[in-house]
């Protein structure tokens, strides 16, 4: 891999000013000086902020992503927006959604062939990040120290999960459910315009060209994706894959223990509901 070009960027907004933008839809044009093979540093502190690199051997990933079935109606990401997306990798417990145990996402269970491709790129991206931002790999693994290896992707064990976004504009946000570690976002696209990644704290607008990958700390920096238009009606796509480490995975136990725990919690919940019904409770959700 060629040595990346360094670019220094001055801070444009304070953290508070950037936070005030959360929920707003970004409108910006890409920076012409930011080309694949660039690592951007804070002009004052020298701290690495973002890497924009070519994606090696993008073909297998493209073929896998074009096979992914993504719900047409979209998925609610938070209170501010809905996107056409689908998660992969591992997911933590969410009792309020009936998920009592940690486990695999549906795509990882139903399409292990696609999951295997996604994991192989997790390893490639992890190695690339270790080269362009030396020392970050060890620091991030230390941050993930509480997460058992079996709940991490690939051989490199850097990320726990990911999301596939299909031609989705995203308003400004921070990735609040993630560990404070670097994420990786490869982009595959054809026949589309827009879909640039904007990091307003530094005024960075990353082109996100086809077969490129962006590395940055999504839980720290406010970011959003600009509007996307298709050059021909009904054709074209801009698919991004974001690899990240979910904080909720730190509570996951060994797989066998996790399965038993989930079964026990479901049994407790069912018994509690039976007692409420026996006592004449008519306010149980889902019952009329």
pLDDT of residue 288: 45
Residues 74 and 130 sit within 8 Å (Cβ to Cβ) = no
Alpha-carbon distances of 179 from 228, 248, 254, rounded to whole Å: 29, 9, 20
Residues ≥6 apart with Cβ < 8 Å to 147 = 160, 245, 249, 250, 252
pLDDT of residue 25: 94
Identify each DSSP E strand in 128-222 by its residue range: 161-166, 170-173, 183-190, 192-194, 197-199, 204-206, 212-216
pLDDT of residue 233: 84
pLDDT of residue 253: 85
HSE value, Cβ hemisphere, 13 Å, CA-based, for 265: 16
pLDDT along the chain (288 residues), means of 10: 87 97 92 89 97 97 94 56 82 75 90 96 96 91 91 94 93 95 97 96 96 98 96 90 95 70 54 57 52
pLDDT of residue 100: 78
* Burial status of residue 199 (CB atoms within 10 A of its CB: 0-12, 13-18, 19 or more): buried
Looking at the DSSP bridge assignments, the partners of residue 34 are none
Q: What letter does residue 82 receive in the DSSP assignment?
A: E
pLDDT of residue 283: 57
40-70 core/surface letters (b: 16 or more CB in 10 A; e: else): bbeeeeeebbbbbbebeebeebbebbeebeb
The number of angstroms, rounded, from the C-alpha of 121 to the middle of its chain's C-alpha atoms is 14
Q: What letter does residue 178 receive in the DSSP assignment?
A: B
pLDDT of residue 84: 82
Question: What domains does the chain contain, in order, with CATH numbers?
Answer: 5-253 (3.60.130.30)
**What is the β-pairing status of strands 5-9 and 38-42?**
parallel
């Amino acid at each position: 891999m060629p040595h990346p070009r360094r670019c220094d960027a001055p801070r444009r907004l304070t953290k508070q000013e950037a936070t005030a933008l959360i929920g707003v839809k970004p409108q910006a044009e890409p920076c012409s000086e930011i080309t694949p093979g660039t690592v951007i540093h804070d002009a004052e502190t020298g701290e690495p902020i973002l890497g924009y690199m070519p994606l090696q051997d993008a073909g297998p990933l493209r073929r896998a992503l074009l096979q992914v079935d993504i719900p047409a109606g979209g998925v609610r990401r938070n209170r501010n927006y809905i996107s056409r997306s689908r998660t992969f990798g591992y997911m933590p417990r969410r009792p309020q959604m009936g998920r009592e145990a940690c486990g695999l996402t549906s795509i990882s269970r139903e399409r292990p062939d696609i999951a295997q491709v996604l994991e192989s790129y997790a390893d490639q991206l992890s190695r690339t990040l270790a080269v362009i931002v030396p020392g970050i790999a060890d620091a991030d693994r230390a941050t993930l120290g509480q997460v058992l290896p079996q709940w991490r992707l690939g051989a490199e064990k850097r990320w726990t999960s990911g999301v596939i976004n299909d031609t989705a504009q995203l308003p400004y946000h921070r990735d609040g459910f993630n560990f404070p570690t670097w994420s990786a976002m490869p982009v595959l696209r054809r026949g589309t315009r827009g879909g640039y990644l904007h990091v307003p704290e530094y005024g960075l607008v990353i082109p996100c060209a086809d077969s490129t990958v962006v590395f940055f700390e999504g839980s720290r920096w406010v970011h959003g994706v600009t509007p996307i238009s298709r050059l021909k009606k009904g054709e074209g796509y801009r698919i991004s894959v974001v690899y990240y480490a979910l904080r909720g995975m730190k509570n996951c136990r060994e797989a066998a223990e996790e399965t038993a725990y989930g079964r026990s919690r479901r049994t407790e919940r069912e018994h509690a509901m039976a007692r409420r019904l026996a006592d004449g409770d008519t306010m149980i959700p889902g019952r009329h």
